[in-house]
């Protein structure tokens, strides 16, 4: 049974959550952090198709974190895990509490806390539990209210910590009403009170302008250094929502983009399979070209190829504007923030521009046979590099 049938976009969201939480937990706990706290602001359950809630964010988190803790213990490292789940709806909270409290295991330093009420009203209790630990906060609302940035800023700004937020792109895009003051006011908490004027002043299409304003407000609310977005589509090839990721650590940016690529590659193939199934159901015939037989290029790889083209133009513009060269370590983080690319893609972007004679192939200096740059290699336009060498 496919528990994500007709919910492929939810599956993609859960793949990102599972893989990133696992990656983050191992890196932090192996790196010396004694405690990791996971906060889920809108826990549900919502539309779960399993009796054990294994297709919910809260049970995915518990499963991942218990497994990581046990692996750490097998290495002789005792690590503390805390989970804080928030749910406002009474019937959902009853199911949540019954499902998660059985995993509360203080003897083994695995703690589970629940809060019945609004996420915005749980801030004080959440901060008591988080303490000085690293916190990953997952905000997954069913709409666009209940997480006004001003009201949850203490959680977003907690250091050390990161935030994953499900931005309901389709809902926000359809309901940002211009002519209904009551509805329009409900967006003030995530877009700022002047969002209408900012949209009117933007040169971007309306939906892109709204998303850009949201990212700006999100970044400011959390004092994040980096904000990345992952658009996730439904079968109708329309962006349904975006996973927005906020971090202050460049290592987090690198890890997130790797996880994102893996998750979106899987999501893309699932969408192809689902579309094939719909076509077969409509025509009553099975295609002789099944997804497995086609060996189709995953949609994410097609997107990455296009993003790399855009990144080439972006990098040339950045280098021209600044008029100097930068070490690769200062080039790839903003590139990854701007485009859905991995660090390895950033290397290839530089290598391709070098091959085209646009930027200097500094990584080949001294007879080196390296094909792509390392962190300390200077990235600059050929004319800039020649000027600097002459001076």
Say if residue 171's pLDDT is above 90. Answer: no
CB atoms within 10 A of CB 187: 21
Which of helix, strand or coil describes residue 177? Answer: coil
**Residue 213 and residue 208: Cα distance in Å, rounded?**
9
Residue of higher predicted confidence among 309 and 263: 309
> Sorting pLDDT into bands at 50, 70 and 90, what band is 182?
confident
Q: What are phi and psi of 227, to 5 degrees?
A: -130, 120
Q: What 8-state DSSP symbol labels residue 298?
A: P
* The CATH number of the domain covering residues in 8-273: 3.40.50.150
360 close to 354: Cβ distance less than 8 angstroms: yes
Provide the pairing of β-strand 226-233 with 239-247: antiparallel
- Percentage of residues in the chain with pLDDT exceeding 70? 84
> Sorting pLDDT into bands at 50, 70 and 90, what band is 12?
confident
Say if residue 39's pLDDT is above 60. Answer: yes
Which of helix, strand or coil describes residue 155? Answer: helix
The helix (run of H) or strand (run of E) holding residue 39 is strand 35-40
Residue of higher predicted confidence among 145 and 171: 145
The tokens for 374 are 């390392």
Say if residue 142's pLDDT is above 90. Answer: no
User: What Å distances lie between residue 107 and 27, 132, 133, 200, 292, CA to CA?
Assistant: 24, 21, 19, 57, 48
pLDDT in tens, 76-113: 999 999 999 999 999 999 999 999 999 999 999 999 99
Domain spans of the chain?
8-273, 297-390
What is the predicted pLDDT for the residue at 315?
98
Q: What is the mean pLDDT of the chain?
A: 88
Provide the pairing of β-strand 326-327 with 378-379: antiparallel
What is the predicted pLDDT for the residue at 265?
86
Q: Helices 343-355 and 299-322 sit at what angle, rounded to 10 degrees?
A: 60
User: For the chain, where are the alpha helices, taking DSSP H only?
Assistant: 8-30, 57-74, 90-100, 123-130, 149-156, 169-175, 181-185, 188-191, 195-201, 206-222, 250-283, 291-294, 299-322, 328-338, 343-355, 382-390
* The CATH number of the domain covering residues in 297-390: 1.10.10
């Amino acid at each position: 049974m496919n528990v994500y049938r007709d919910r492929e976009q939810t599956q993609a969201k859960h793949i990102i959550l599972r893989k990133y939480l696992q990656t983050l937990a191992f890196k932090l706990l192996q790196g010396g952090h004694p405690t990791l706290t996971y906060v889920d602001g809108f826990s549900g359950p919502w539309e779960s198709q399993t009796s054990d809630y294994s297709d919910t964010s809260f049970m995915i988190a518990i499963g991942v974190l218990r497994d990581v803790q046990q692996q750490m213990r097998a290495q002789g490292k005792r690590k503390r895990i805390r989970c804080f789940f928030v749910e406002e709806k009474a019937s959902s909270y009853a199911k949540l509490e019954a499902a998660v409290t059985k995993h509360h295991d203080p003897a083994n330093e695995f703690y589970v806390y629940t809060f019945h009420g609004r996420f915005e009203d749980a801030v004080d209790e959440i901060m008591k539990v988080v303490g000085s630990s690293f916190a990953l906060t997952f905000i997954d609302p069913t709409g666009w209210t209940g997480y006004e940035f001003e009201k949850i800023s203490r959680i977003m700004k907690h250091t050390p910590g990161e935030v994953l937020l499900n931005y309901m792109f389709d809902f926000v895009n359809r309901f940002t009403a211009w002519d209904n003051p009551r509805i329009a006011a409900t967006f003030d908490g995530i877009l700022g009170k002047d969002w209408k004027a900012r949209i009117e002043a933007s040169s971007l299409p309306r939906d892109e302008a709204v998303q850009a304003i949201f990212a700006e407000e999100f970044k400011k609310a959390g004092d994040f250094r980096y904000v990345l977005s992952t658009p996730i589509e439904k079968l109708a090839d329309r962006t349904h929502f975006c996973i927005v990721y906020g971090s202050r650590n460049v290592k987090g940016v690198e890890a997130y983009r790797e996880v994102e690529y893996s998750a979106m590659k899987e999501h893309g193939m699932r969408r192809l399979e689902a579309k094939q199934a719909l076509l077969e159901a409509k025509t009553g015939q099975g295609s002789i070209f099944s997804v497995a037989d086609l060996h189709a290029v995953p949609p994410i790889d097609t997107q990455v190829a296009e993003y790399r083209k855009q990144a080439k133009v972006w990098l040339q513009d950045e280098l021209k504007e600044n008029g100097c060269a930068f070490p690769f370590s200062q080039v790839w983080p903003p590139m990854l923030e701007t485009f859905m690319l991995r660090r390895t893609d950033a290397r290839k972007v530089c290598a391709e521009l070098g091959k085209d004679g646009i930027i200097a192939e500094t990584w080949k200096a001294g007879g080196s046979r390296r094909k792509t740059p390392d962190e300390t290699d200077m990235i600059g336009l050929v004319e800039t590099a020649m000027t600097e060498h002459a001076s």
